[in-house]
Amino acid sequence: MTDAVIRGIAIHLPEDVLTNEDLDAQFPEWEMDKIAAKNGIQQRHIVAEDQTGLDLAEAACRKMFAEGITAPNGAAQGDIDPADIDALIYCTQAADYLMPTNACILQHRLGLPTTTMAFDFNLGCSGWVYGLSIAKGFISTGQAKRVLLVTTDVYSRWIREDDRSIRSLFGDAACATLIEAGDSATTGGHIRECVYGTDGSGAANIVVTGAGMSGAPLDERSANRGDGPTMFMDGPEVFRFTLAVVPKLMQQLYEKSGESVDSIDQFILHQANKFMLEHLRRKLKLPKEKFILELADVGNTVSNTIPIALGRAYRDGRVQSGQTLALVGFGVGLSWGGVIVDWR
């Protein structure tokens, strides 16, 4: 059977950086040292006024094409020819236009063949995991051999300047992930079992109002938050959702894959914030040495948190050939998903 294999991850961060010192200077009453001790974030990258998520996505893809597939030591393992891309899957909640999709515009900017299938899908923190599953489906059914999965989030465009709880959390980013058809000997991350879940009854807990086709808020908590698109998040409700859902998700993933805490070498969960992740680690009884934290210099980058953490962990040797990984995303929707990956 043909395997779907993660062959490379390219990360692009905007040049502008918003540090905790910057926020302290603007809002001394926020006491950013106390916030950072809890959320584990020291800075976040912010998209420039004249940039969009599509610009970040293009930069990530061009980095992927320029660098090719490389080993952690920098050794070249293969070139990436844009002409060989069969599918472009674009996950974003901040499309440049209501229509056409960002994927169609990006196909043209990158010079991908007109035979390339290209489409957007709208998910947040679970988006990258869902994207892997979509790519695996195309590859396993013979509809594609090389899939480019793009994730882009620019939450800074929707966050009120004086909203301490979420402005201190979120950063902007884009990632390009190359997924190829391969066999058991192909180098990279072999995508295995996936599990998913959705609970739309919690949709109002993370929402952007003032955008889309409805002028009505989902409930009174997100009403009257200002002109234009404005983000609202009920942090305590999201925390409760996470602690309730993720342990069940992990149990389903163990049962479906036959894996366990002992057999999995690394766990990479959506990098929401340090406080939440440490609570999850303890509840799931995961050893610290198997639990990757990678958000101090980027913040919560939504659909990009897992590929950023995985890409960095692979490059610095924390993820190695022969390891089995559990990758788990959860958040806005409410939506969640998990996948087992064998790294070879």
Exposed/middle/buried for 156, CB within 10 Å: 0-12, 13-18, 19+? buried
pTM over 0.75: yes
**What is the rounded average pLDDT for all residues in the chain?**
94
Helix (H) or strand (E) holding 195: strand 189-198
Q: What is the pLDDT of residue 159?
A: 93
Say how far apart CA 242 and CA 146 lie, in whole Å.
33
Task: Respond yes or no: is residue 300 known to be catalytic.
Answer: yes
Work out the angle at residue 298's Cα, subtended by the Cα atoms of residues 295 and 300, and round it to the nearest 5 degrees.
65
Share of the chain above pLDDT 90, in %: 87
217 CB-contact burial (10 Å; exposed 0-12 / middle 13-18 / buried 19+): middle
State which fold the 3-186 domain adopts.
Answer: Peroxisomal Thiolase; Chain A, domain 1 (3.40.47)
172-210 pLDDT, tens digit each: 999 999 999 999 999 999 999 999 999 999 999 999 987
CATH 3.40.47.10 in the chain, residue ranges:
3-186, 191-343
What number does CATH give the domain 191-343? 3.40.47.10
Among 205, 270, 273, 304, the one annotated catalytic: 270
Q: Are 82 and 54 in contact (CB under 8 A)?
A: no
Q: Is 270 a catalytic residue?
A: yes
Q: Which of 61, 125, 175, 194 is catalytic?
A: 125
Catalytic residue among 39, 102, 300, 304: 300
Closest CA to 124 of 88, 170, 159, 81: 170
**Are residues 319 and 313 in contact, defined by beta-carbon separation less than 8 angstroms?**
yes
For the record, the structure tokens of 22 come out as 């910057």
Q: Write the DSSP symbol of residue 165.
A: H
